[in-house]
A and B are shown apart, each in its own frame.
Chain A
Amino acid sequence: MSLIDSLTRVRAPKLPRADGLIPWIVPLAIILIWQLACVTGFVPARVLPAPTDVALAGWKLLLSGELIRNIWVSFWRASIGFLIGGGIGFAFGLANGLSQLSAKLTDTTLQMVRNIPHLALIPLVILWFGIDESAKLFLVALGVFFPIYLNTLHGIRTVDPQLIEMGRIYGMTDGELFRRVIFPGALPSIFVGLRFALGIMWLTLIVAETIAASSGLGYMAMQAREFMLIDVVVLSILIYALLGKLADSASRALERLTLSWHPAFQKH
């Protein structure tokens, strides 16, 4: 109910045009300086190609369809891995936040596993899955599991007990209590986990694709390195930045939509 309430009332972003452009001043300036440095020969092209050259490489790859195909493959792996790992993490977070028994049973184990850097599993994962799709999905899922799990658990544990008592007094059933009090109370923390997880998602995927893949952005960058196509390598790195920013923006938009009650989201 409260979420639906907020959906209908969300304010259209009314930022003046100039305000919206301010965050882009620095990236644009960097590209401009970069271009100047390359054109004047201050930076040799074999160290760093000019932005125009990178753009040209991008255009060629776009025309051949290779760029779209690789982005799509990476995007697909990221999303599926994220859904699997995030879903399991969310489920464990809910279970351990709501049930003492479940927390006692699994939390210690999960905390132990959490301290293994998941990328350390790459050799093992290659032995298990080869360079199959499932290897990448497994690593991404494992990477996003922990931030979602920890923050969901933390969010549920820190819901104001006075509000829960209030809900009980007013005769809320367990389901209503979860839907109206516990879940909305945990949501800000869940979003923190979501944004952490998105960062880890790209990191894991790129590393996995660089080491063991036959398609995707990471693979494209590694292939380009083999053939000394430095402009494609730089292009891949820029696309990572762009995709990361896009994922972050999407989660921020979702946050603004569902947390419009929060004082932090009412001023802008």
Chain B
Amino acid sequence: MQEVLRFRPLGAEAVAREDFVEEARQFRRAPDVPSRGLSLTIRGLRKSFGDNEVLRGIDLHIPAGQSVAIVGRSGCGKSTLLRLIAGLEKPTAGSISFGEQARAEDIRVMFQEPRLLPWARVLSNVEVGLGRERSSADAQARAEKALVEVGLGDKRGQWPSVLSGGQKQRVALARALVSQPRVLAFDEPLGALDALTRISMQRLLEQVWRDQGFTAILVTHDVSEAVALADRVLVIENGRIAHDFNVDIARPRERGSAELAALEGAILKNLLEGTEDSSDDL
């Protein structure tokens, strides 16, 4: 039996171990999820913007279909890591490789802002997500199916400007899902939503992840969101992975349960401790 909470500080030595990949594989949870996802291996990843080194050597293996949350204080490099994984930035050094050859449509990103085209109706916005398959005969049917999946089947003919913030984010989710991606990266996708909409969106995200079995990478500053959604929580400090928690709590998870709260408390404690003696233990 795994412990409910595992705390594992990763020093540079531990990362370099040969059995790193194997050990990370054990972190995979939720065997009930049929995985179509791609596994992801990151080695020695560094990223600098000018003189500012944002990522200082990330080694990470994410097994196929796992849902990983990346938390950290603002400016710690978590969004940069996500943008590198999504191919929006080029690494300064190191490599990111997927388990199999990935098509462009296999990797999708959802941002904090919905980024919908205001001049296209909801359905055409979802069709954008099909990428190169946009012109295929069943494009419209697929877009409609994705809209139904996020609960907005009746909004297909609306302009984005009449939708609420949560609805816009659902359309953005449908657009990300329509190509049936195998890796879905979320950059604070619920950051701009109110508390109630957030909770229902979290449920929706968990549900589509369980249904579709993609590998999910969620960047968030909200630790409670991270423990509610993810199999595994990574804490990033000063451009390195400082902690790697396994969230071994059965789904569906009950919001506000003692288990979640205990884990959330432990992660927060580590986050706060890490800020005090940040550079010494890394």
Contacts and interface: CB of A to CB of B under 8 A. Distances in A.
A2 B161 contact: no
A25 interface: no
A168 to B, nearest CB: 9
Interface string B144-171: 0000000000000101111000000000
Interface string A95-121: 000000000000000000000000000
A181 B121 contact: no
Interface of A: 1-3, 5-6, 9, 162-163, 165-167, 169-172, 180-181, 184-185, 187, 259-263, 266
A266 B117 contact: no
Given A169-B88, A184-B119, A162 B129 contact: no
Q: Tell me whether chain A's interface is mostly helix, strand or loop, or mixed.
A: helix
The residue in A163, A170, A259 that gathers the most chain B C-beta atoms within 10 A of its C-beta is A170
Interface of B: 86, 88, 104-105, 108-109, 111, 113, 115, 117-121, 124, 128-129, 131-132, 157, 159-162, 175
Given A166-B111, A261-B160, A262-B119, 18 more contacts: A2-B119, A2-B120, A3-B119, A5-B120, A162-B111, A162-B115, A165-B115, A169-B108, A169-B109, A170-B131, A170-B175, A171-B131, A180-B120, A180-B128, A184-B119, A261-B118, A261-B120, A261-B161
Nearest to B130: A170
B117 A181 contact: yes
B113 A162 contact: yes
Q: State the 10 A-B residue pairs at the shortest beta-carbon distance, nearest first.
A: A171-B131, A184-B119, A2-B120, A166-B115, A261-B119, A2-B119, A263-B161, A261-B159, A171-B104, A170-B128
A260 to B, nearest CB: 8
Contacts of A3: 119
Contacts of B128: 166-167, 170, 172, 180
Contacts of A1: 120, 124
23 contacts: A2-B117, A6-B119, A9-B157, A162-B111, A162-B113, A162-B115, A163-B115, A163-B117, A166-B115, A167-B128, A169-B108, A169-B109, A171-B104, A184-B119, A184-B120, A185-B119, A260-B159, A261-B118, A261-B119, A261-B159, A262-B118, A262-B119, A263-B161
